[in-house]
């Protein structure tokens, strides 16, 4: 099961506008491949060439070493199934009729579908969650329901190659996951070679193990996620600044795109705000303050901390300390300088341990110098205090003049006073 696909030197143009330009890549037998790229990069056109809907003006497509155009239509349909981006329903076929069409490559005019064919149809509908729609007209279904029916038809073909063109476009997140998990299951259990054009990169990396990034009809990069999905490649292909990171729950590579401007063009002109510490808990405060136009600094944080990645992405001053250690004299002086440069200090609802208790002394110094300090969610500190000492230290800051905010959303009233009232 599964087919090796070799694409070499494909060229195709619409109205003299090149869409594919010397497109070349290999897909090994049993690969699970996501086609990535911006709109107009050539993803759908490439899939239509591989599925024989379009004929390229130059180049070759080989299935297990044999030219694609050597196969007749039934042979090709037994080897490849396609789930297109959009499905029209001009005829009043039932869902079961549509799925049964996946058996046509195995039938001829002297052979009608038998019990085996009906069993394959039944299983295909069960796998895609459309069994309850079997007697419904395809024309009466929603876009997402139609997409699952067409997926059932493709599975019914029992292909060696499954081509998916934006298969999740009309689906909610539950069915997106189901459909892509289904494709992965076919790949895993039956070694079906899967190639899918996917817009959502973060969704793609959850379900695919190989990636081809197209730009201007050419292959910019191909390989594993770490080789293909890089900030440099995203910038070149999509034209937006991005950073990559590992998801804290499952470790899968993810991307985040900057909003509003390039990270190396920090035009913020609002108050200078130092945000204490980092971690996921600090990110909402950092993002809000950044959107308010504040000039931010961050720290102390470790090099792998979410706050550190935020700081680097937005070219912000940051104090970086080794993980699981306390600040040394150099770190302490760097941190004190950021506190001196700030107009105000924000303590987000971060965890506290023995290693970061020393920062309270420095924040107290900032208060003594008349610097405004805002502490978010003082009441919830026990849930985040692994030293047993943070509550007392924070309350000491409050006694010296620090202000308490109930939640990150309250920062707006501090940074942009009067703005909330105007919007009411």
**pLDDT of amino acid 277:** 84
Task: Count other Cβ atoms within 10 Å, centred on residue 163.
Answer: 25
Question: Which residues in 114-126 are b (16+ Cβ under 10 Å) and which e?
Answer: eeebeebbeebbe
Q: Crossing angle for the helix pair 143-156 and 173-190, nearest 10 degrees?
A: 10
The rounded distance, in Å, linking the Cα atoms of 359 and 277 is: 9
- Per-residue tens of pLDDT for the chain, all 424 residues: 567 899 999 999 988 788 999 999 999 988 999 999 999 899 999 999 999 999 999 999 999 989 998 999 999 999 999 998 877 766 789 999 999 999 999 987 767 888 999 999 999 999 999 999 999 999 899 888 888 999 999 999 999 999 999 988 778 888 888 889 999 999 998 899 999 999 999 999 999 999 999 999 999 999 999 999 998 999 999 988 887 877 767 778 888 876 544 444 555 778 999 999 888 889 999 989 988 889 999 989 888 888 888 888 788 999 998 876 666 788 888 999 999 999 999 999 998 888 778 888 889 989 988 999 999 999 999 899 888 899 999 999 999 999 999 999 999 888 877 654 444 4
Query: Is the separation of the CB atoms in 103 and 179 below 8 Å?
Result: no
Residue with tokens 């997106």: 176
Q: What are phi and psi of 363, to 5 degrees?
A: -65, -35
Query: Is the separation of the CB atoms in 55 and 6 below 8 Å?
Result: no
Query: What SS3 state is found at 39?
Result: coil
Q: Please list, in sequence order, all residues whose beta carbon lies within 8 angstroms of the beta carbon of residue 346, skipping any fewer than 6 positions away.
A: 273, 274, 275, 276, 285, 289, 373, 374, 376, 411
Concatenated DSSP letters for 217-233?
Answer: TEEEEEESHHHH--HHH
**pLDDT of amino acid 263:** 47
**pLDDT of amino acid 325:** 64
The rounded distance, in Å, linking the Cα atoms of 298 and 286 is: 9
Q: Crossing angle for the helix pair 359-368 and 390-399, nearest 10 degrees?
A: 0
Task: Count other Cβ atoms within 10 Å, centred on residue 147.
Answer: 27
The rounded distance, in Å, linking the Cα atoms of 43 and 52 is: 14
- What tokens does 118 get? 């009906």
Angle 329-333-339 from CA coordinates, rounded to 5°: 145
The rounded distance, in Å, linking the Cα atoms of 81 and 161 is: 6
Nearest to 356, CA basis, from 408, 287, 278: 278
**pLDDT of amino acid 259:** 56
- Enumerate domains of the chain plus CATH numbers: 5-256 (3.40.50.300), 272-423 (3.40.50.720)
- What tokens does 285 get? 């405060």
- What tokens does 196 get? 């899918």
């Amino acid at each position: 099961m599964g087919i090796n696909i070799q694409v070499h030197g494909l060229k195709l143009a619409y109205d003299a506008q090149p869409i594919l330009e010397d497109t070349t890549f290999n897909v090994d037998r049993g690969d699970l491949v996501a086609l990535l790229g911006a709109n107009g990069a050539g993803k759908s056109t490439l899939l239509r060439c591989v599925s024989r809907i379009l004929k390229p003006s130059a180049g070759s497509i080989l299935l297990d070493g044999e030219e694609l155009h050597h196969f007749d239509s039934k042979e090709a349909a037994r080897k490849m199934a396609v789930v297109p981006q959009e499905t029209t329903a001009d005829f009043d076929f039932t869902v079961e009729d549509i799925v049964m069409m996946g058996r046509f490559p195995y039938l001829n005019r002297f052979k009608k579908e038998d019990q085996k064919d009906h069993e394959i149809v039944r299983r295909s509908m069960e796998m895609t969650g459309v069994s309850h729609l079997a007697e419904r007209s395809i024309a009466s279904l929603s876009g997402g329901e139609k997409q699952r029916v067409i997926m059932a038809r493709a599975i019914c073909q029992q292909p060696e190659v499954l081509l998916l063109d934006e298969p999740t476009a009309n689906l909610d997140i539950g069915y997106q996951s189901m459909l892509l998990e289904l494709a992965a299951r076919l790949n895993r259990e039956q070694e079906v070679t899967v190639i899918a054009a996917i817009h959502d990169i973060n969704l793609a990396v959850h379900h695919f193990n190989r990636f081809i990034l197209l730009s201007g009809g050419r292959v910019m990069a191909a390989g594993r996620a770490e080789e293909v999905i890089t900030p440099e490649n995203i910038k070149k292909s999509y034209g937006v600044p991005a950073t990559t990171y590992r998801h804290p729950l499952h470790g899968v590579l993810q991307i985040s795109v900057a909003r509003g401007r390039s990270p190396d063009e920090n035009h913020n002109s609002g108050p200078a705000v130092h945000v204490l510490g980092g971690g996921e808990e600090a990110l909402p405060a950092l993002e809000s303050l950044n959107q308010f136009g504040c000039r931010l600094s961050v720290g102390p944080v470790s090099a792998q901390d979410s706050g550190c990645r935020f700081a680097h992405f937005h070219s912000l001053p940051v104090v970086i300390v080794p993980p699981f250690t306390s600040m040394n004299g150099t770190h302490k002086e760097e941190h004190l300088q950021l506190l001196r440069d700030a107009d105000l200090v924000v303590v987000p609802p971060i965890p506290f341990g023995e290693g970061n208790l020393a920062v309270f002394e420095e924040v107290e110094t900032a208060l003594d110098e008349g610097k405004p300090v805002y502490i978010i969610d003082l009441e919830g500190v026990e849930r985040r205090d692994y030293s047993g000492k943070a509550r007392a230290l924070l309350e000491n800051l409050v006694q010296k003049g620090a202000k308490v905010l109930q939640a990150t959303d309250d920062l707006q009233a501090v940074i942009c006073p009067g703005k909330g009232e105007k919007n009411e």
